[in-house]
Chain A
Amino acid sequence: ETGVTQTPRHLVMGMTNKKSLKCEQHLGHNAMYWYKQSAKKPLELMFVYSLEERVENNSVPSRFSPECPNSSHLFLHLHTLQPEDSALYLCASSQGRVGSYEQYFGPGTRLTVT
């Protein structure tokens, strides 16, 4: 596998379920990101991890819980979601600690909350 991969690609879950999204990057990068992409809205940055430490949390509700066990893997744990959380969740990675480096994106997980 090359680049940034995400699993699953599609997920349907009820409001009481618990699920996790997985992201893996094969680029040797040291920063990873979660974004939420909703229709007709700009991409929303959710979390940033740099060298496995969370460096940014953009006021995301606690029903979203990120985990970064190492620099290649990033998870987003989901529990008691709301229908408005239905969206495409994109993972990205980048090299370096400054904000100048471009980010490489995964294909996304299409999440539907019923």
Chain B
Amino acid sequence: AQTVTQSQPEMSVQEAETVTLSCTYDTSESDYYLFWYKQPPSRQMILVIRQEAYKQQNATENRFSVNFQKAAKSFSLKISDSQLGDAAMYFCAYVNYGGSQGNLIFGKGTKLSVKP
């Protein structure tokens, strides 16, 4: 069975600095997707960034980028120029490509605090 591990329950970053959140996963599949979701204190979960496993190029969305290491099964999220609004729970998630609907597996999350 696939698993997703986020080894950092909490992280803290100074405003305008860069922070990296870690995520590792375990799977025997070769085609899959990885996501980072953000859940602010208001609780609405939103998608931050997505990575297709078949793509070698790391995904980037403005200040958010990933370091996808397929062989190492690692998928870290880098937040550059951190802002106060980045404070939230961040969840790493995995889904098999072509798998059954809803086979989205989440890690336990990392709580990110941003200090002014």
Query: In whole angstroms, how far apart are the Cα atoms of A88 and B5 in the complex?
Result: 21
Interface size class of A (residues with CB under 8 A): 20 to 34
Contact B47 A50, beta carbon cutoff 8 Å: no
Q: Which residues of A contact B (CB under 8 A)?
A: 31, 33, 40-43, 45, 48, 50, 55-56, 88, 90, 92, 94, 97-100, 102-108
Contact A98 B45, beta carbon cutoff 8 Å: no
On chain B, the number of residues with a Cβ less than 8 Å from chain A's Cβ atoms is: 28
Answer whether A98 and B50 are a contact pair too, CB < 8 Å, given A45-B104, A106-B44, A107-B44.
Answer: no
Interface readout for B101-114 with A: 1 if CB under 8 Å, 0 if not? 11111111100000
Query: In whole angstroms, how far apart are the Cα atoms of A43 and B46 in the complex?
Result: 14
User: Smallest distance from the beta carbon of A38 to chain B beta carbons, Å?
Assistant: 11
